[in-house]
Structure 1
Amino acid sequence: MRLSRKAAGLVATAAIFTAVVPAGDAVASPRSTCYGGRVCLYAAFDFNRGHADLWRDFIEDDPDFADNNWLNWDFSNSWHSMDNETSSIRNRIGCSATLWQHPGYTGAHSTFTHDSNDGFLVNNAITNNRASALDIWCR
């Protein structure tokens, strides 16, 4: 009987702890989801649906993608450079985000407002596989 009361007490304590501790910050998901407070970039069209899950999320500016690697579906480093490899974007940062053709925010660019998605960057000024920088700006 003591063991079952002890087990019940542990379960009750765990339940209280779970209810009191706030959830941590959400992160992006490789399978086309992008949680609030982030700009998510994907290496393939249509947010990687039906393709290799190479993705990355951002919460601040990045002036040069050359020093970033894509993440795999399991959050591991792909060791594949992001530079000139972005094909789709989801913007959940709460501000506008601009993809730039060249490092240092120069060249052709396309701006995406909060809560916008584009699964086919070919139809934008930045086009497919040309992004080298991300500028996030709030007014």
Structure 2
Amino acid sequence: MRLSTVVAAVLLALIVPGVAEASPGGACFQGRVCLYAGFAFNRSQVDLWRDFVHDDTNLADDTWLKWDYTDSWHTMDNATSSARNRLGCPVTLWQNPYFTGAHSTLDHATGDGFLANNAIGNNRVSSLDIWCR
């Protein structure tokens, strides 16, 4: 096999995500809500992330993905520092499971790289409510 073919295959593997639709490094693909463990969508930090297309009533049973799309085994409950919404409708991040407590809403095509500056706060997200009806 030629070197150029190998290089092209490696680059394609890096560009095309596996099962998940978000990606490391802060990307968030159309039709997804993406949560990140680090500020500024994980820029220059440990790259833990996860994407969603449906409500999640309790993030305690979800774990972060690592930069290589493998499971980190670290719970997402009370561990979100930034978020992006590319779903097409508003999404509300809630402090407690089952959509209770303090909350912040992200409109479509918005993101918040520093959740500490709003009602939900840093490392307090326990559920998310997607408003596509």
TM range (shorter): 0.7 to 0.9
Aligned equivalent of 2:115, options 104, 121, 128: 121
State percent identity of aligned pairs: 65
Letter in 2 for 1:58: F
Moved over 6 A (4+): none
> Could you state the TM-score of these two structures normalised by the residue count of structure 2?
0.84
Query: Paired residue for 2:12?
Result: none
Q: How does 1:1-139 map to 2 (within 5 A)?
A: 27-138=21-132
The separation in 2 between residues aligned to 1:37 and 1:113, in whole angstroms, is 13
Letter in 1 for 2:94: W
Residue aligned with 1:31, SS? helix
Pairwise CA distance, 1:25: 8.9
Q: Which ranges of structure 2 fall in alignment gaps of 5 or more residues?
A: 1-17
Q: Which ranges of structure 1 fall in alignment gaps of 5 or more residues?
A: 1-23
* RMSD between superposed Cα atoms in Å: 1.5
Pairwise CA distance, 1:35: 0.4
| Number of residue pairs the alignment of both structures matches | 116
Residue aligned with 2:34, SS? strand
> Could you state the TM-score of these two structures normalised by the residue count of structure 1?
0.81
Residue aligned with 1:56, SS? strand
Query: Paired residue for 1:19?
Result: none
